[in-house]
Structure 1
Amino acid sequence: MSLTLQVLLEEGTEVLSKAGVTEASLDAKYLLFEAFETDMTHFLLDRNQRLSEEDNASRIRNYRAMIETRSQRIPLQQITGSCEFMGLEFFVNEHVLIPRQDTETLVELVLKEYKGRKPAVLDMCTGSGCIAVSLAVLGGFDRVTAVDVSKEALKAAQKNAENLLGHGSITFAESDLFASLEEQKKFDVIVSNPPYIPTKIIEGLQPEVRDFEPMLALDGKEDGLYFYRRLADESRRYIQTGGAVYFEIGYDQAEAVSGLLRAAGFAGIRIIKDAAGLDRVVCAIYQ
């Protein structure tokens, strides 16, 4: 049988299917495109053309190596080193949570509600910087501070800021939530996608998440609410009166997080659903 892109795709799909990868065909296709530096249009045109194994040896070898890596359940985005979020291409690695489409709900909401304005924004638990950088790029926000406890995550976030914005557009700070921030600095908007998965739930997650994404970005402690308690309490010292908070939540955490914010003196609490119709963002005003 002649070696073609279609044959390689089927070969990769079979390997990933046997490894239990959920979207084996799709992932094999992404890796094929990555290895051969092609896209869907050119793949459809060329997929049945015979490949010269001599001329394409390095590409074929790279593709098969990536398939083998993916078969170990290492996330696709960590293999390619990139992930699309809000139409932007973000660098990702093993030190940051891979940006999810769910989080676009939060970013889209802030962009809509602050259109034409230049609020001072604090992105707490920034990870890859996907929220902070997206707000700066798409909203033109020029006073954004991004905070994370992980030095390695901040390196990835800074790289994304440099790639998508250039230097100096976002201020980065290494801190355990607000611990290292100056209290006299006040923000108009505080956003966060904190760790919110209860510890006991993590063991049952897909291997890609459980074994390869940073535990720091996943573990919300016993009930998943540890960071929301701190955010609700500590945000008050860093937000302007009339300022707003926007927190991503798990689908079943709206009532609990709303209660924490209400008890901390926030009002105008709203629950925003994601594209799938699940509760995804809690937002509130500090009075």
Structure 2
Amino acid sequence: MENKLNYGEDYKYIPATSVRSGVGIEVLDDLYQYTVQIVNIVLYGRPRTQDFVLIDAGMPKSAENILEVVEKRFGSNSKPKAIILTHGHFDHVGGIIELIKHWNVPVYAHSLELPYLTGKEHYPEPNPAVSAGLIAKMSPFFPHEAINLGENINEMPADGSVPYMPGFRWIHTPGHTPGHISLFREEDGTLIVGDAFVTVKQESLYKVLTQQKEISGPPQYFTTDWSAAKESVVKLAALKPQVVITGHGLPMVGEELTEALHLLVNDFDRIAIPNKMN
């Protein structure tokens, strides 16, 4: 099985970082956000237990860092029950193959994301013209080719449940990618949103470096379906989340989150969609 596992030919380390890189935040007692350079991974599960799940797999060449974070939180030689992918972009699967080989655990993603995770279809090339921001201008160097996880990748359950995450359900939130998902827990209004929307202006190098908090749509340079992206944000806002962890940026909670989401829904075209596409 292992010889099937491979990254795309354009897989490489990307020298982009932020002031939050290497910093973890215990958002809730069972949810821990850790920033790998410019992207967040999420660990579900209380510390020192063996009932935990990794959501997303960081930047390229970050597997060792992720392993260290996991062992620090859950103990030596600990491994998750599963890895859940919100989607398959390079900055969310950057350490996935090394983690699969180390842990031998199943990986789950939406069925519409599987072509990009089984070597069958490349993502569209990133579009640097969406913004004058330097991260957007760097985006042509970002990997976009399909990776192949072979038999390790599984479809998310059709009933909407999330493996090994009781109380959570997955929600299809396409736009950024065809099979993008977000995870929601009704009981306390917790939303793990991936890149359906983010809390930093991801196209701007300065704002990424400083992690200046502001509500924003999905990263523009990789988003292909803006109509679907808007519908996904409307769908998520209707859940009235109380806590949000995004793929990029700091968590948002309470009134700040409610107001920010209201603003994003009502002014999505201005805030989220590149000017040239409005």
Query: Same fold, TM exceeding 0.5?
Result: no
Greater RCO between the two (CA within 8 Å, min separation 6)? 2
TM-score, normalised with respect to structure 1: 0.32
Query: Which one has the bigger helix percentage?
Result: 1
